[in-house]
Amino acid sequence: MKFSLEWLKYYLDTETSAAEIADTLNAIGLEVEGVEDPAERLAGFRVAEVLTAEKHPDADKLQVLTVDTGEGDPLQVVCGAPNARAGMKGVLGLPGAVVPANGMELRKSAIRGVESNGMMCSVRELELGDEHDGIIELPGDAPVGESFADYSDSSPIFDVAITPNRPDCMGVMGIARDLAAAGIGTFKPVEVPAIEGEGACPVEVRIEDSEGCPAFHARVIRGVTDGASPEWMQKRLIDAGQRPISALVDCTNYLMLACGRPAHVYDLAKLSGPVVARRANDGETVEALKGKTYTLDDSMTVIADDEGVHDIGGIMGGEHSSVSDGTTDVLLEIAYFEPEAIGVTGRKLGLATDARTRFERGVDPEFLDDGLALLTDLIVKSCGGEPSEAVRVGETDTEWQVLGFDPDLTRTLGGIDIAEDEQRRILEALDFRVGTNKRAWDVWVPPRRHDIDNLPDLVEEVIRIHGLDKVESVALPRADGVARPTAIAEQKLERKVRRAAAARGLHEAVTWSFLPTDVAERFAEDSTQLWSLANPISEDMKTMRPSLLPGLLMAVQRNLDRGASALRLFELGRRYGRGKNGASDERLTLGAVLAGDKTPRGWATGKAQGFDAYDAKAEAMALLAAAGAPVDNLMVMGEAGGQWHPGQSGTLRLGPKNVLARFGMLHPRLTDSFDIDRPVAAVEIYLDALPKGRKSDFARPAYTPPALQAVTRDFAFLFDADKPASDLLRAVKGADKKHIVDAQIFDDFRGAGVPEGKRSLAIEVTLQPGEKSFTEDELKAMSDAITAAAAKQGGELRA
């Protein structure tokens, strides 16, 4: 939000400098993003008088001016403006000055062979408006030679970021109130004129959607003349970044920026019948002021008449009923719209306006009558006309919330002692009403302060105005001796897995926890279990993610589009859904994606090689091992889900039902939906499904290496080709858990000598003796046990 120091002083009696005001705004929680001084941009421009104006000898549309700058001899300036003439006063840019509109530095030059010492400037060139048909023409009493910045009373402009919880500061008046409470001058509240009006309002106003629009105040003004708004108003609007349009429109914008109260003006001649606040009909359309047509639905509040919709309630007016040069009679609208309804409508239509920003955060429900009176006064003074009596339909909740406040809370909650008199002063300066109780004060909260719900909020108000920098930094007490570990088991698990993933060359990503609903549904086993927000920031962030893969795939798509050739990303976070009784359920998860080139092309390697399902499985096994999962006991099974490529994906399970991870290639249809044109391997590990480790003593037993050398034996088994080799390997490892310390497949052969439908799996088994070496009988017994275990899985020892 932008505003000038001159405008601020309309509501704040102060002589404080702009720099000190900016520091104070930052200190009280209203962040200043920048302070711009137009006087700096207008350096080198001064008031000048044209003494003579003669036709350029070599150009029909140029004139050669003699200009008095108030210092020394007159200067010769070549000018192409049609309104340049002898005797007028304007603005001269001297050599060395920089034109604000285009950044051009003025220099002494020759134009068509005639020397020119600067430039007479237009309104647009100095960024004071849009007019550019001629140069600026100043009044006859303008002092020649004075700096134009001083003459135009240029004022520093503040750009303040207002947080969503402070809609009361979405107007200059609200900011002035906060500054006055902080000791920067005296607050000057707006003077609301008493406007009775002549005769009843000739337009019937009704509310049919009291949930979306609880209150609607209006009046008619007849006989207005729409033209340019007053110069002082245009200047303030321009300083605020608004383009002056016409007096009627400028008055509504001025009220919004000054008091945080959006309003609307209709051309009465373009309305037909009663004006009604109602729900739109499904498929109903409206052409908005920007010329774009919007299709509405029955969840949206609109202002309409017998002919149709004229206003998207609280967001944007319609083109059909907008005012124009020929407007003579107008209807003023000051309504209250429910913030949540405004937010939903704005997101659905993709409309972001100044009015929506204020209504969505919550405007002052008490400011309906005052807002209508102020708007009426502005229009009558700027455009003339005779106002009617006001019509008031509906009502808002204007009850002041009462909190029992103990001033000692600033010490116990805020950590700072503030005198009770000072606390009372601060609260009253912020427009709270404070009772006279000696201990627990009754504090009445104005309805515009939607951010004040409880006592800690009042403590915050007192401390931020008193000065957060005055809160002393106090170290927390620390017990003597060695501090006990504070990380819980889940935090330790996260650290181990995160480090393991980074050590394997994966890059950590952090993505949004919210997704578009249609994307979330692709990754949900049951869409009814999705957890959606009732009032999301946007429709693209409405549903909480049921999986980490969508966010990672979006990251893959962005990086591939920007030329990345290989991506190895992982994210450690939580997936969300509905638990028992519909409550939110969140579970710790690790997701990883591999996309692009696994190995780049080269003279030794040939073509670039992509990632495959085995790469995904290797990552899953390694990360599960780092997490402490019993990887030797894992079962590889199919049924990874519809998001995965059939035949190129699987699951890792402890038992048939406990799924620890899914891995493999993602389905091409899924990657296509994310605009990814390359195969993507992925892993999703459900860390919440890991078995809980047994508690052990703090001190681990010392590692004792085996005294005897291990023995290896090779076995070859005929095994069904369509069965997972891991089933056979697991059976072999479990044949003698005491002595078999490792087993690995080193050959998978299919061909001559191997029956159809079978394959030959060669397994190297490592046997570790204990206190004495194995005897031949012991080795034979273990071999027989291995053969028997393999036979139970369908493995036949090859001769």
Q: What span, in angstroms and rounded, lies between the C-alpha atoms of 12 and 140? A: 33
Q: Are 789 and 731 within 8 A, CB to CB? A: yes
Question: Quick check: 39 and 198 in contact, CB under 8 A?
Answer: no
Chain centre to alpha carbon of residue 495: 29
| Amino acid at the residue 717 | F
| Binding-site residues | 451, 457, 460-461
Could you give the CA distance from residue 151 to residue 137 in angstroms, rounded to a whole number?
A: 13
Element (H, E) at 176: helix 172-181
Q: Read off φ and ψ for residue 398, nearest 5 degrees.
A: -110, 15
DSSP state, residue 654: E
Q: Please check whether residue 337 is in contact with residue 301, taking contact to mean a CB–CB distance below 8 angstroms.
A: yes
Which residue bears the tokens 């900016």?
22
Residue 522, SS3? helix
Parallel, antiparallel or unpaired: strands 264-267 and 329-336: antiparallel
SS3 content of the chain, % helix, strand, coil (to 5): 30, 30, 45
Q: Is 105 helix (H, G, I), strand (E, B) or coil?
A: strand
| 287 token code pair | 């052409």
Alpha-carbon distance of 280 to 296, in angstroms, equals: 6
Q: How far apart are CA 300 and CA 349, in angstroms?
A: 10
Q: How far is CA 331 from CA 159, 248, 372, 391, 635, in A?
A: 33, 11, 11, 11, 74
C-alpha to C-alpha distance for 265 and 233, rounded to whole angstroms: 17
- Cα 129 to chain center, whole Å? 32
Give dist(CA 249, CA 379) in Å, integer.
Answer: 9
* Number of helical H runs and strand E runs in the chain: 20, 41
Give dist(CA 576, CA 245) in Å, integer: 49
Q: Which residues does residue 586 pair with via DSSP β-bridges, in sequence order?
A: 576
What is the distance between the alpha carbons of residues 729 and 742, in angstroms, rounded to a whole number? 10
Helix (H) or strand (E) segment spanning residue 305: none
| Listed residue (584, 745, 586, 596) closest to 681, CA to CA | 596
Task: Check: CB of residue 98 under 8 Å from CB of residue 44.
Answer: yes
- What pairs with residue 135 in β-bridges? 122
Distance CA 672, CA 553 (A): 11
Largest CA distance in the chain: 124
β-sheet bridge partners, residue 543? 515, 532
DSSP H helices, 317-454, are: 339-349, 354-361, 368-383, 409-412, 420-429
Residue ranges at the known binding site for Mg(2+): 451, 457, 460-461
Q: What is the distance between the alpha carbons of residues 589 and 575, in angstroms, rounded to a whole number?
A: 7
